[in-house]
Amino acid sequence: MRAGSGISGAETTFLTAGATFATGVFVLPRLLVADAGRAGILALLLVALAAILWTSWIAGRSQRLPARSLPLALVRQGGAGGRAWLVLLALFELLLAGEVSAQFATMAVAVILPGASRFGVSTLILLSAFTAARHRVEGLARTVYVSFLFAGMLAFAAFALLLGRADQLAAVLPGPHLSVGPILAGSIDSIGLYAGATTIVAFLPAQRYSRQMPAVIGGVILVTVLIVVAYVAAIGTGGPGYVLTQIWPVVTALRTLVLRSFVLNRIGLVVVLAWSAFVLTFSATHLWAAAEYACIAMDSQRSRPLVALAGTVLAGVFATFSGPEAQTEVIVRHVVGPAVAVVLLSWILLAYLLTRRRPQASGG
C-alpha cells in the first residue's frame, strides 16, 4: 500500500473533499432544521470541528506505527481478526458508494430526468467511478483533483446566483434561545458527512503525517464551506418551514435558477453535470478504499482491478435495493449515519489500541 506516497498536498485536499461532499448534501438542510431548528448552522459547524479533531487524533496516533498505515498495522497486529475487520470496512465503503449513487439516481429521475431508468443512472455512475477506482491512489487522486476542482467552481457559481435571489437570509442565523440537546442531535445526524475524511486519514503514511494531515484538514474545511454555502442558499431561498417540506432542499432551491431565462436554464444543466461529478468522485474514492481494504486483507495488490470490479458490482446491488424517494431521509438517518458512527468509533479505538505503550516486563 502506497497511499499518499506519490500525491501532493493539494491532491490530498481534494481527495478528502471528494470522499466527503456528496454524502448528505441532498437532504442535509432538512435534517439539520428538523433536529436543531434555526441553530442548524451551529450543529454543522460543531460536527466539522469534531471531524478536524478526530482526524487529527487518529493521524497523530498512526504516526507512531511501525507499519505504513492503520490498515496494514491492523493486519500485522490483529491477524485473522484484523483481516476480517478490513473486509467489513470494505463492505461499509461499498454500501456508501452504492447508497449515494442510488440516491443521486432517485433525485435525478424525480427532478431532472423524468422517465429515465433509476438503475441505469446509478449503474452509469458506478461504472464511471470504477474506471478511476481500479488504479492506485496516484491515478485516483489526479482524477478527483480535476473533477472536484471543476465541479466545485461551478457549484460556487450556482450557489452565488441562488444567494443573490435569497430573501430569507436572516432565517439562517440562530435564534435567541439556544438548546444544547437539539444542536447535538443535529451534529450526530450529520456525522456521516465526514466519513470520507476518516477513510483518507486511515491510509495516511505514518512517515508523512506532518505534510499530509494539514491537507486533510484543508479538505474538511473546503467541504464545510461548500456545505455551509449550500445550506445558506437553501434556507435563504425558502426558509426553514419550506425546507422541512422538501426531500432534497438544495436541489429544489437550485431548480428555481432554471425557470427564469435561457441563460439560467443552461446554468441549471451545468449544475447537474457538476453534481454528477461530485457523486462520481465520492463513489470512486469509496470504491478505491473498499478495494484497498480487501487487497490488504488478502495480501495481494495484483488483483486490484478484479477486486475493484467485484466491489463495483456489489455496490450496484446495494444501490438496487436502496429505498425509494420517500425513504431517503430514513436511510441517511438510520442506516448510513449509524454505520459511519460505528466505523468512526472503531478507527478511534483501533488507533489507540494499535499504538498504546505496552508495559515492559520487569527484570528478575
Give all domains of the chain, ordered by start, each with its CATH number. Answer: 9-353 (1.20.1740.10)
pLDDT in tens, 118-130: 888 889 999 999 9
Residue 66, pLDDT score? 74
Confidence of residue 131 (pLDDT cuts 50, 70, 90): very high
Give the chain's end-to-end CA distance (angstroms, integer). Answer: 42
pTM score of the predicted model? 0.87
In this predicted structure, the answer to whether residue 338 has a pLDDT above a threshold of 80 is: no
Q: Which residue has the cell 486483507?
A: 297
Average pLDDT over residues 333-341: 71
Average pLDDT of every residue of the chain:
81
Residue 261, pLDDT score? 46
- Cα–chain center distance at 329: 16
pLDDT in tens, 264-285: 455 556 666 777 888 899 999 9
Listed residue (97, 107, 102) closest to 322, CA to CA: 102
Q: What is the 3-state secondary structure (H, E, C) of 12-80?
A: HHHHHHHCCCCCCCCCHHHHHHHHHHHHHHHHHHHHHHHHHHHHHHHHHHHCCCCCCCHHHHHHHHHHH
In this predicted structure, the answer to whether residue 16 has a pLDDT above a threshold of 70 is: yes
Q: And the C-alpha cell for 303?
A: 488483483
Residue 151, pLDDT score? 85
Q: Which residue has the cell 504516526?
A: 63
From 28-42, 51-65, 152-166, 197-211, the region with the lowest mean pLDDT: 197-211
